[in-house]
Chains A and B, each alone.
Chain A
Amino acid sequence: AQKVTQAQTEISVVEKEDVTLDCVYETRDTTYYLFWYKQPPSGELVFLIRRNSFDEQNEISGRYSWNFQKSTSSFNFTITASQVVDSAVYFCALSEASYGGATNKLIFGTGTLLAVQP
């Protein structure tokens, strides 16, 4: 069964602290894709990253970095030197390439609410 678990419901940090958001996934497929989305209070989901199952290289984009480890089925997200504007709900999601004809079916976790205090 496909499943995404984000065990951290809420995290509160002070500005400039580093913070890591955890994501653990379950899938029986060997080909799959992992995503992170940000949902600010306005409600619109903002795409952050897509990673396929064959690419385990970590990725860095500015203050954002992602650590993909197939051995532990984890795809964690770290924000370095957090800022108040980073406050939002962050979702990890899974898509299986072999799922029937629905190539864009995303399985989302329950999200982690990040509050960055000034």
Chain B
Amino acid sequence: DAGVTQSPTHLIKTRGQQVTLRCSPISGHKSVSWYQQVLGQGPQFIFQYYEKEERGRGNFPDRFSARQFPNYSSELNVNALLLGDSALYLCASSSSGTSVSEQFFGPGTRLTVL
């Protein structure tokens, strides 16, 4: 079975631009979460979606938004990019969105903002 997939792998943007990152969960998984990992740090929780509804949001500005589609794939959008948004963006899927369960992570999208 395919694991969590993310696209694109790498992305270079300039300040002020907007970016969309995509994630496809493991087949049968209905919950998707997004994390931001700045170099040298642990991942920081951004969003969780379950059954197309937002279940939680981390301490990130409104420039960050996300959505989940009927096929449970998800997009993360970041507007008005800042240099500090440069990071590895990780998507994780899990089978449950109503109880704590193992999350399986994708390879990530490395975003560089110049």
Could you list which residues of chain A lie within 8 angstroms of chain B, going by C-beta atoms? 4, 33, 35, 37, 42-47, 50, 52, 91, 93, 95, 97, 99-111
Bound complex: CA A11 to CA B57 (Å): 34
Interface presence of B33 (CB below 8 A): yes
Give the secondary structure class of A's interface.
loop
Q: Assess the B45–A102 pair: CB atoms within 8 A.
A: yes
Q: Assess the B100–A110 pair: CB atoms within 8 A.
A: no
Q: How far is the CB of B114 from chain A (nearest CB, A)?
A: 21
Bound complex: CA A103 to CA B98 (Å): 6
Q: Assess the A97–B99 pair: CB atoms within 8 A.
A: yes
**Contacting residues, chain B, for A47 (C-beta < 8 A):** 102-105
- Find the B residue at minimum CB distance from A9: B40
Q: How far is the CB of A14 from chain B (nearest CB, A)?
A: 25
B16-44: contact bitstring with A at CB < 8 Å (1 yes, 0 no)? 00000000000000010101000011111
Q: Which residues of B in the span 90-113 have a Cβ within 8 Å of any Cβ on A?
A: 90, 92, 94, 96-108, 110
Q: How far is the CB of B92 from chain A (nearest CB, A)?
A: 7
Q: Assess the A106–B43 pair: CB atoms within 8 A.
A: yes
- Find the A residue at minimum CB distance from B106: A44
Interface presence of B78 (CB below 8 A): no
Q: Top 9 closest A-B pairs, CB basis? A: A102-B56, A108-B42, A45-B105, A101-B55, A44-B107, A102-B48, A105-B45, A33-B100, A104-B33
